[in-house]
Structure 1
Amino acid sequence: MRSEVDVTAGELVVRAREGNAAAWNALVERYTPMLWSVARSRGLAGPAAEDAVQATWLRLVQRIDTLWEPESVGGWLATVCRNECHALFDAPFAPPPRPPGDDADPAPGPEIRSVDRDRLERLAAALRAMPERCRTLLRMLASSATYTEVSAALDLPVGSVGPIRARCLRRLRGSLDE
């Protein structure tokens, strides 16, 4: 039998569908560096990039049985990762990206500073209204803590940090939208 390194992507997908752990591991080993590159190319780093990569793998787990062209799993993963990155940028408090070639003076005027201050005050109030676990988790991730560190501090499985973070951010967005 060939080693997992010599097996095509399509064969790995078929084996992973059948529950072959070695095939899953080979897929993860083969495509995770590419997913990190996609996340970084979209401007994500640290926990946000981890969320995008983890969510991409979760989508494959959920949809592996529906892939029509298993040999195209690499392109499928890249597309899903780009979509996950885009979803992470839809936060109401994220600054809009600057258009290419925009050489405007980045120093904000008093109106912009006032709007920014109001936005920060609303964000702080919304954070104070959240459950303690969400506040702690978001605060730790904002200070560049790793998922492993958050997991240990909050006594959570590492794999649940990303989904809990997503729920906390959805709750935060909802309270900001009100």
Structure 2
Amino acid sequence: MDDTAALVRAAADGDAGAWKELYQRHSGLVWAVARAYLVNGSDAQDVCQTTWFRLAEHLTRIRDPDKVGAWLASTARHEALRVIRASGRATPVSDMGLLGVDIDERSPELLILEAEEAVADAERALVMWGAFEELSDRCRRLLRLLIASPRPTYQEIASGLGIAVGSIGPIRARCLQRLRTLVAERGVTGIRR
């Protein structure tokens, strides 16, 4: 099924395949919204589960089934903010744990060369992430959603962040320009425009 509204109706009628398709289409969006607000992975997972539970509760009452992605993004945002309020903390998300070097059993010379390249890449990534974390919360959240896979629609992003659809492009441009400036100040070059 390609029609989102038809998927929502089929899922509401108990079609497990339709529910699975909805989940596959929108789970990346829900996760990206949750992680844009929450540092703790288990909190983000809880928000995702709660968001999908809320959809199951309201599946027959969704006013505009074609926009279920925006509904999910908005619900994930509200749930994440609820978790933040309940815990009394809001901390920027750090992806430093994503940086790692895989070591295998090839020749020592090749491993040394690859290790040097990996260190250089890791150092560049550290600089990039350091610059990224200096961006405003708004910029970090928007850029994370724009790189989510599958990529959410602008309507879903707008709902997830509580901003107007028409402001996404200009905000994105300003955020990327600020990121380029921060990275250039640190001596990293070759960033695409």
Normalized against structure 1, the TM-score is what?
0.49
Greater relative contact order (Cα < 8 A, sep 6+): 2
Normalized against structure 2, the TM-score is what?
0.45
